[in-house]
Amino acid sequence: MNTRPISHVTARERQAIEVFIARLHGRFPGRILQTLLFGSKARGDSQPWSDIDILVVLNEEDWPSRQEISTLAARVSLEYDVLIGSRVIGQERWERMKQRRFGLYRNIVSEGIPLTPAPTHS
């Protein structure tokens, strides 16, 4: 996994990512185990029309949460005029993908950039 900063996104894309991650953690406190930027934006070979691929690993995967995260991604996309593509995976399935060395898992781990919410000040 990459630890380099996100340098291949525009200021608006960066802001959209930060808002999306903050809202995710606000809506699903304690359920978000990991968020990673992957795909062309992480690799640095994106085009102006490329989407922003974000993996969200939940402690437990369920259809209502997946749908809600997809809706949240769409709302933030509309607010910032970008396209966020969320990929929601439960911890158990993520671990199975790791054990079986799925191509998607290998790609995300090799190119993925961890995303963390901005610190909140009390």
Q: Enter the CATH code of domain 11-114.
A: 3.30.460.10
What is the Cα–Cα distance from 51 to 10, expressed in whole angstroms?
A: 12
At 5, the pLDDT band (50, 70, 90 cuts) reads: low
pLDDT, tens only, 24-70: 999 999 999 999 999 999 999 998 889 999 999 999 989 999 999 99
Q: Tokens 């809600």 map to which residue?
A: 68
Q: In the structure encoding, which two tokens stand for residue 62, read together?
A: 């369920």
Strand intervals (E) in the chain:
32-38, 52-58, 84-90, 113-114
Q: What is the pLDDT of residue 116?
A: 80
| Cα 82 → chain centroid | 14
pLDDT, tens only, 67-83: 999 999 999 999 999 99
